[in-house]
């Protein structure tokens, strides 16, 4: 691929290549509202640090960002309490399911990392302590990151998860029994389900993650979100823990820091170059978007750009 890369041509090629994959995965159904999303959609967006936007397919279709919100929640909590966060959450891949309770027992209520559900609940607890309305604080934060002041969470999705999130509630109670959750479980669950229910499209998400590709600084507003060292650390966590229990395989195949969600979105970035987001709601068994994972693998292959 000659340089400079023609990102639009790459995205158009990928859009064609993934078509046979649509219909091969399964839309998440354990949150009833998510089961209603038509599976055969695909969109991808790349935003380079000079602000150029390239996109294909359903890149302007808003979807439930789910665990992608854990990246933004972590960033905001890290802004608030810095390294003190690591007294309550680890930084190692878990090697078990994103919603597993098993390790919490033997590890005395300290979750392995901030991207599994237990870790994200502790992060949300930090936000509940810091903000009167933590979910509003997070939506406003993501609005600033993306430059889209109209972003909202989807109340139906949040209520759907609140009504069925028995495992997450169990984890929250369990961590509270170890003293690693200080706010009432209902408050933490409420804020958690709402931030998971934020709706965004691929273009806005590619913009929202670009600060990590730019040393922690929002490339367009100039706002310092985190310092360069923290941007490196957040990106390292994405690489090692951001794509469920398949993070090793994902790093092998794709080679960029990324965070995925059960809504089918995956965000990632290439330091010094761009933010990227792909969305396709059908998942592979790991929980990552099936077509989305392939699309990102093809993207780093076709452009010759990755971390490595
Ligand atoms: N809100 C979802 C849950 O807690 C997020 C899961 C995900 O996207 O990984 O189950």
98 CB near ligand 1 (under 6 Å): yes
- Choosing from 70, 262, 266, 287 the residue with most ligand 1 atoms within 8 A of its CB, the one to mutate for a pocket test is 262
Does the pLDDT at position 241 exceed 90?
A: yes
- Choosing from 117, 171, 258 the residue with most ligand 1 atoms within 8 A of its CB, the one to mutate for a pocket test is 117
Q: Give the pLDDT mean for 105-122.
A: 95
Give the tens place of pLDDT for each residue, 136-157: 999 999 999 999 999 999 999 9
Q: Give the pLDDT mean for 268-296.
A: 98
**164 is written with which tokens?**
């069925």
Does the pLDDT at position 1 exceed 60?
A: no
**22 is written with which tokens?**
């649509």
CATH class of 7-65+198-303: alpha beta
Q: Where are the alpha helices (DSSP H) in the chain?
A: 7-18, 69-81, 102-106, 117-130, 134-146, 155-164, 166-177, 185-196, 202-208, 210-213, 228-241, 247-253, 290-303
135 CB near ligand 1 (under 6 Å): no
pLDDT of residue 115: 97
Is residue 58 within 8 Å of 279, Cβ to Cβ?
yes
Domain range list for the chain: 7-65+198-303, 67-196
DSSP class of residue 114 equals T
Q: What is the CATH number of domain 67-196?
A: 3.40.710.10
> CA angle at residue 205 from 203 to 206, to 5 degrees?
65
Give this prediction's pTM. Answer: 0.97
Does the pLDDT at position 178 exceed 80?
A: yes
192 CB near ligand 1 (under 6 Å): no
Is residue 158 within 8 Å of 197, Cβ to Cβ?
yes
Q: Please identify, by atom number, the ligand 1 atom nearest to the C-alpha of residue 68.
A: 8
Residue whose C-alpha is closest to residue 295's, from 39, 10, 4: 10
Question: What is the rounded average pLDDT for all residues in the chain?
Answer: 96
160 CB near ligand 1 (under 6 Å): no
**186 is written with which tokens?**
């209902």
Helix (H, G, I), strand (E, B) or coil at 220: coil
CA of 255 to the centre of ligand 1 (A): 23
CA of 44 to the centre of ligand 1 (A): 21
pLDDT of residue 3: 65
Is residue 119 within 8 Å of 111, Cβ to Cβ?
yes
Q: Please identify, by atom number, the ligand 1 atom nearest to the C-alpha of residue 66.
A: 8
189 CB near ligand 1 (under 6 Å): no
**179 is written with which tokens?**
């003293």
> CA angle at residue 78 from 75 to 288, to 5 degrees?
40
Does the pLDDT at position 165 exceed 80?
A: yes
DSSP class of residue 208 equals H
Q: Give the pLDDT mean for 24-34.
A: 96
Give the tens place of pLDDT for each residue, 258-277: 999 999 999 999 999 999 99
CA of 168 to the centre of ligand 1 (A): 9
Residue nearest to atom 2 of ligand 1 (CA): 66
Give the tens place of pLDDT for each residue, 6-21: 999 999 999 999 999 9
Residue nearest to atom 4 of ligand 1 (CA): 117
117 CB near ligand 1 (under 6 Å): yes
Percentage of residues in the chain having pLDDT higher than 90: 94
Q: Give the pLDDT mean for 184-197.
A: 98
Is residue 248 within 8 Å of 93, Cβ to Cβ?
yes
CA of 6 to the centre of ligand 1 (A): 34
100 CB near ligand 1 (under 6 Å): no
pLDDT of residue 97: 77
CA of 67 to the centre of ligand 1 (A): 5
Cis peptide before 72 (omega within 30 of 0): no
Q: Give the pLDDT mean for 230-248.
A: 96
Is residue 13 within 8 Å of 302, Cβ to Cβ?
yes
Residue whose C-alpha is closest to residue 238's, from 137, 152, 307, 151: 307
């Amino acid at each position: 691929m000659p340089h400079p890369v023609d990102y639009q041509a790459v995205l158009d090629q990928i859009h064609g290549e993934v078509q046979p994959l649509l219909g091969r995965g399964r839309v998440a159904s354990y949150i009833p509202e998510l089961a209603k999303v038509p599976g055969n959609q695909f969109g991808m967006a790349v935003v380079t640090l000079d602000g150029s936007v390239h996109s294909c397919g359903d890149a302007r279709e808003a979807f439930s960002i789910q665990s992608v919100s854990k990246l933004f929640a972590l960033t905001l909590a890290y802004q608030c309490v810095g390294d003190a966060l690591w007294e309550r959450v680890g930084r190692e891949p878990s090697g078990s399911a994103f919603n597993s309770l098993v390790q919490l027992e033997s590890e005395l209520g300290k979750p392995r990392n901030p991207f599994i559900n237990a870790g994200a609940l502790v992060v949300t607890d930090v936000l509940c302590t810091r903000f009167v309305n933590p979910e509003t604080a997070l939506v406003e934060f993501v609005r600033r990151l993306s430059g889209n002041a109209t972003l909202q969470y989807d109340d139906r999705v949040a209520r759907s998860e609140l009504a069925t999130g028995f495992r997450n509630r169990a984890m929250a109670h369990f961590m509270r029994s170890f003293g690693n959750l200080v706010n009432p479980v209902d408050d933490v669950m409420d804020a958690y389900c709402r931030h998971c229910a934020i709706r965004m499209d691929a273009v806005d998400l590619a913009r929202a993650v670009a600060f990590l590709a730019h040393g922690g600084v929002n490339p367009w507003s100039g706002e310092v979100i985190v310092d360069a060292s923290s941007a490196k650390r957040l990106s390292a966590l994405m690489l090692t823990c951001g794509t469920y229990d398949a993070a090793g395989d994902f790093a092998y195949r794709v080679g960029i820091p990324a965070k995925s969600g059960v809504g089918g979105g995956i965000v990632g970035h290439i330091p010094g170059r761009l933010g990227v987001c792909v969305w396709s709601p059908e998942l592979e068994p790991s929980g990552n978007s099936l077509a989305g994972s392939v699309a990102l693998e093809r993207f780093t292959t076709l452009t010759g750009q990755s971390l490595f």
